[in-house]
Amino acid sequence: MNFSGLIQDFGPLTITGLAQGAIIALFALGYTLVYGVLRLINFAHSEVFLMGTYFCLLVWGLFGLDQNSATPSTIAVIGLVLLGMVVAIVASGATALAVELVAYRPLRKRNAPPLAFLITAIGASLFLSETVGVITKRNITGVPPLIRPRDVFVIGNTHVTNLQILIIVLALVMMYVLDRFINRSRLGRGIRAVAQNPDSAALMGVNKSRVISLVFLLGGLMAGIAAVMYDLKIGVTRFDAGFLLGIEAFTAAVLGGIGNLRGALLGGLLLGVLQNYAAGLFGTQWLHAASFVLLVLILLVRPTGLLGESLGRARA
């Protein structure tokens, strides 16, 4: 164990972990939303994220940009990032709705057991990822260098870059917007009503199918934003990019209290930071293993996760 290395690099490991954790948190929102309403895990959510990583690259490619391109002007970068985000949101949202319509809704109409939903979700996940793998010939796809990391401020040996600030701030803003939507809007009240008691909600005039579609859509929108941030941070994507990150996002959702929006944010940020601490302490080869050890330890103490509150019991 390298305690001296951890102490020496504590600042850089923390800010890097927060940026990675912000992406995980946005990703985890899709898991926690679906579980909060359906009490099911949508394992195809990793491919919802995957579609966002590729479709923003497609739109950037229309402007002649690839991994070898020079960084455009600041105004052009802002426009391209916003455009890529819109396209990624649409692609991920449409994929999430398609998964709900094709894989989940027929099973719900037949009152299928939970195991059938789980198997179908895994099947949809494999189908989407393998389809992308065939199209891309399983090659790694580079991302245009739209935002080159540069220091905004330096504290000791901690260099905080423009990209890290963008990722963290964007995650916090989107989390706030989604939280306000769920807790303050009429549609949000419908989501919470179905999460708490779907039969009573139906008697009150809430359309359960529309609410479930909305939940999948919202999760897809968050995944699309996470996908663009992932592309800009990592610099590459491939057909299975959503697999490992999806497991980490699911871990973050359970860690914070699956079904709890704020728990997903807390779990994602905490997971990202602690992963980096583990990498500094034990080596980078332990980065991903540390997340599952952490999950087991916390669930032994608090089985419902750190916050543990479901959508149905969220504050009005």
The count of structural domains within the chain is 1
Q: Quick check: 171 pLDDT over 90?
A: yes
Q: Quick check: 169 pLDDT over 90?
A: yes
| Average pLDDT for 8-33 | 93
Least confident of 149-153, 158-162, 202-206, 284-288: 284-288
Those residues with Cβ within 8 angstroms of residue 53's Cβ, 6 or more apart along the chain or in another chain: 88, 227, 228, 230, 231, 237, 241, 242
Q: Is residue 12 part of a domain?
A: no
Q: Is residue 59 part of a domain?
A: yes
Pick 8 or 126 by higher pLDDT: 126
User: What pLDDT sits at residue 311?
Assistant: 64
% the chain with pLDDT above 90:
64
User: What pLDDT sits at residue 291?
Assistant: 75
Q: Is residue 210 part of a domain?
A: yes
Tell me the residue range of the domain where 41 lies: 26-241
Q: Quick check: 132 pLDDT over 80?
A: yes
Q: Is residue 89 part of a domain?
A: yes
Q: Is residue 66 part of a domain?
A: yes
Q: Is residue 311 part of a domain?
A: no
Judge contact between 273 and 18, C-beta under 8 A. Answer: yes
pLDDT tier at 290 (50, 70, 90 boundaries)?
A: confident
Pick 285 or 110 by higher pLDDT: 110
Radius of gyration for the alpha carbons in the chain, expressed in angstroms and rounded: 20
Q: Is residue 258 part of a domain?
A: no
Q: Which of 276, 308, 278, 273 is nearest to 293 (CA)?
A: 278
Q: Is residue 304 part of a domain?
A: no
User: What pLDDT sits at residue 312?
Assistant: 55
